[in-house]
Chain A
Amino acid sequence: MPLPDETQVIDAIRSVIDPELGLSIVDLGLVYGVSVSPEGAVSVRFTATTAGCPIVEVIAHGIFQAVRRLPGVTAVRPELVWDPPWTPEKITPEGLRHLQARKER
């Protein structure tokens, strides 16, 4: 079975949102990296906006559920990292446009 590439994994993770902002964690800049092993094990390095972010577990759970459904995936490892620390500058241009659109609604 063919393995998913990083883009497919990232696209799957887009369904994981920050409920307060209505913004995907990808566009929020919380996903730091994805790797897919030849055996189909997927690691997703992600961070949170602050050390006390109340949805860290929800994000990890959501990443697991979103990625496990991709064909060829045998394991999913969401890895919470704090280095480098997240700053608002990590929000993607698309994310900033989304936030701006919410302001104007």
Chain B
Amino acid sequence: MTAPPPLAFTAGSPRVPLPFLLAGVVFLALGLAAFPFVAGLLAEGFYHPDLLAVVHAITLGFVLVVFVGASIQLLPVLTGVPVGRTVLARAGGALAVLGVLAMLAGFTAVSWPAVAGGGFAVLAGMALFVAALAPLLSAARKDPVLLGFALAFGALLLNAVVGLLLAFDRHHILFSGAPTDRLAAHVHLGLLGVFTVAIFAVESKLLPMFLLGPVPAARRVRATLFSLSAGALLLASALAFRFSILPGAAFVAAAYVLQVGSLASVLAGRKRKEVDAGFLYALSAHADLALALLVGLTIASGAGAGTPLAFRLPVLYGFLLLCGWLLQAVVGFLSKILPFLVWQVVYAPRVGLGPVPTLKDLSPDGPQLFGFALFRAALLAVAAAVLWGRPAPLTAAAAFFSLSLVPFFVHAARVAAHVVHPRTFAAKEAPVAVAR
């Protein structure tokens, strides 16, 4: 008898990124725990370091760390190209995690040298990580997902340098003009040029897979990713150096239209009609991204100038981009990906030997759907409180928002519990319902 084919990405594999995913979830919990205590500052008209700590806990602590972990395991599987230097990638990721911790401590203590030091560790860690993934990313011409990650990681390194300059600028004045212009550039490059590019790339692969729909043409996906990257870069430059945002905004809008068109094709041609919580999060995140882009254009048109809206609209814009789009999309994807990663570790080795659970068996849908409804309501509550502009409602809405993600944490914990206590499925529970 020949030996069984190896399971390179399953049990015992050093590539399983659960420590990164766990670290990401802990950062998210920290950010959410702090949010109600700092939300009142949103009414005050300036970007307090405590707010920056919460934003970086979500963007770098949660989203980036999750991306790092998922990149190590999922990119090789999705693209068929090995990482190559896994140890270096993990070391780089770990250094970035330590850097994020230092940054959060620096923001909280209002110590800009600490922020800069942490930022440097993030930059160095991600540079190591990208170097480790270089053999994989060099195949970007062949695979749109890799192209997306190559563009996103390039923008990430650039944006880390921008962030470092911003931190130095707070300590030793380096630039003239309003710091908020450069902060706006940093935010746009990060949220659009890094994270949105990566999400669009992943979506183009995963949604057809999840929904059994037609795969978007590679040329269309490439055009979307290039347009978004160019748009984010132009937009950030326009904000930093005060020239017209229209070219950048046009590229971003074109990318959004292309992406939504691709998603519409997948939805129209899908064989799987079932709608689960992860899918709902992803769809509603796109709606919030559209809303954010509209608010952005409203701000650019000068609406609300000379009124309280001149500050509240940018806060609303930032909240929609960060929480309505980015956080919601990543929570949605993680709701789907985490059960799969755990299933790969725990149950994949048993496939073919007897009944194994499906992903749904790892954590029920009902509480997740409830969590989604709660999250939508909380998003609305915070958006309304931002427009109202009073500290007390902002604090209450932020507390509601943080609590609305408890079902997601419960889902993640239930799924992760299978690593410690795998279930044995009796034949009568076999999920293979189809028989001759």
Q: Is the CB of A50 within 8 A of B351?
A: no
Closest to A80 in B: B5
In the assembled complex, 28 residue pairs joining A and B whose CB atoms fall closer than 8 Å, in A order, are A14-B432, A15-B355, A19-B343, A19-B356, A21-B212, A22-B431, A23-B432, A51-B80, A52-B77, A54-B344, A57-B8, A61-B5, A62-B352, A63-B352, A64-B352, A65-B351, A65-B353, A73-B1, A75-B1, A88-B213, A94-B436, A95-B434, A97-B434, A99-B271, A99-B273, A101-B433, A103-B272, A103-B275
Once the chains are docked, how many angstroms separate the CA of A23 from the CA of B433?
8
Tell me how many residue pairs across A and B have CB atoms closer than 8 Å.
141
Once the chains are docked, how many angstroms separate the CA of A62 from the CA of B343?
14
Q: What is the CB-to-nearest-CB distance from B416 to chain A, in angstroms, rounded to a whole number?
A: 16
Q: Which of B114-122, B202-210, B242-250, B302-310 contacts A (4 or more CB under 8 A)?
A: B202-210
Q: Tell me the chain B residues, 79-112 only, with Cβ under 8 Å from chain A.
A: 79-80
Q: What is the CB-to-nearest-CB distance from A1 to chain B, in angstroms, rounded to a whole number?
A: 14
Closest to B269 in A: A88
Chain A CB within 8 A of B178 CB: no
Q: Is the CB of B347 within 8 A of A19?
A: yes
Knowing A52-B80, A65-B353, A99-B272, the reply to whether A57 touches B10 (Cβ < 8 A) is: yes
Knowing A52-B80, A91-B212, A95-B434, the reply to whether A102 touches B352 (Cβ < 8 A) is: no
Within the complex, which residue of A11, A22, A62, A91 is in contact with B351, where a contact is CB–CB below 8 Å? A62
Once the chains are docked, how many angstroms separate the CA of A51 from the CA of B357?
24
List residues of chain A with CB within 8 A of the CB of B6. 57, 61
Chain A CB within 8 A of B168 CB: no
Chain A CB within 8 A of B349 CB: yes
Chain B CB within 8 A of A34 CB: no
List residues of chain B with CB within 8 A of the CB of A68. 1, 4
In this complex, the member of B274, B354, B432 whose beta carbon has the largest number of chain A beta carbons within 10 angstroms is B432
Knowing A17-B351, A17-B431, the reply to whether A58 touches B344 (Cβ < 8 A) is: yes
Interface residue count for B (Cβ, 8 Å)?
54
Closest to B351 in A: A62
List residues of chain B with CB within 8 A of the CB of A3. none
Once the chains are docked, how many angstroms separate the CA of A97 from the CA of B132?
45
List residues of chain A with CB within 8 A of the CB of B340. 19-20, 54
List residues of chain A with CB within 8 A of the CB of B355. 15
Knowing A17-B351, A49-B209, A99-B272, the reply to whether A61 touches B7 (Cβ < 8 A) is: yes
Closest to B275 in A: A103
Q: Is the CB of B208 within 8 A of A50?
A: yes
Q: Is the CB of A15 within 8 A of B354?
A: yes
Q: Tell me the chain A residues, 1-34 only, with Cβ under 8 Å from chain B.
A: 11, 14-17, 19-24, 27
Q: Is the CB of A19 within 8 A of B433?
A: no
Within the complex, which residue of B80, B145, B271, B431 is in contact with A91, where a contact is CB–CB below 8 Å? B271
Chain A CB within 8 A of B358 CB: yes
Q: Tell me the chain B residues, 109-148 only, with Cβ under 8 Å from chain A.
A: 143, 145
The 10 closest A-B pairs by CB, nearest first: A65-B352, A62-B351, A62-B352, A66-B352, A22-B358, A52-B78, A88-B271, A103-B274, A54-B77, A60-B5
**What bracket does the count of chain A residues touching chain B fall in?**
35 or more
Q: What is the CB-to-nearest-CB distance from B58 to chain A, in angstroms, rounded to a whole number?
A: 26
Within the complex, which residue of A52, A60, A98 is in contact with B205, where a contact is CB–CB below 8 Å? A52
Once the chains are docked, how many angstroms separate the CA of A60 from the CA of B343?
16
Chain A CB within 8 A of B215 CB: yes
Q: What is the CB-to-nearest-CB distance from A68 to chain B, in angstroms, rounded to a whole number?
A: 6
List residues of chain A with CB within 8 A of the CB of B215. 50
Contact with A along B323-353 (1 / 0, CB 8 A): 0000000000000100010011001110111
List residues of chain A with CB within 8 A of the CB of B205. 50, 52
List residues of chain B with CB within 8 A of the CB of A59. 351
Q: Tell me the chain B residues, 1-45 only, with Cβ under 8 Å from chain A.
A: 1-2, 4-10
Chain B CB within 8 A of A96 CB: yes
Knowing A57-B9, A65-B351, A99-B271, the reply to whether A20 touches B210 (Cβ < 8 A) is: yes
Q: Is the CB of A61 within 8 A of B78?
A: no
Q: Is the CB of A61 within 8 A of B349?
A: yes
Q: Is the CB of B212 within 8 A of A88?
A: yes
Within the complex, which residue of B7, B270, B353, B357 is in contact with A19, where a contact is CB–CB below 8 Å? B357
Q: Is the CB of A61 within 8 A of B74?
A: no
Within the complex, which residue of A21, A53, A55, A64 is in contact with B4, where a contact is CB–CB below 8 Å? A64
Knowing A50-B215, A52-B79, A98-B434, the reply to whether A65 touches B209 (Cβ < 8 A) is: no
List residues of chain B with CB within 8 A of the CB of A61. 4-7, 348-349, 351-352
List residues of chain A with CB within 8 A of the CB of B354. 15
Q: What is the CB-to-nearest-CB distance from A3 to chain B, in angstroms, rounded to a whole number?
A: 15
Q: Is the CB of B208 within 8 A of A22?
A: no
Once the chains are docked, how many angstroms separate the CA of A43 from the CA of B360?
31
Knowing A17-B351, A50-B205, A51-B80, the reply to whether A57 touches B210 (Cβ < 8 A) is: no
Closest to A78 in B: B5
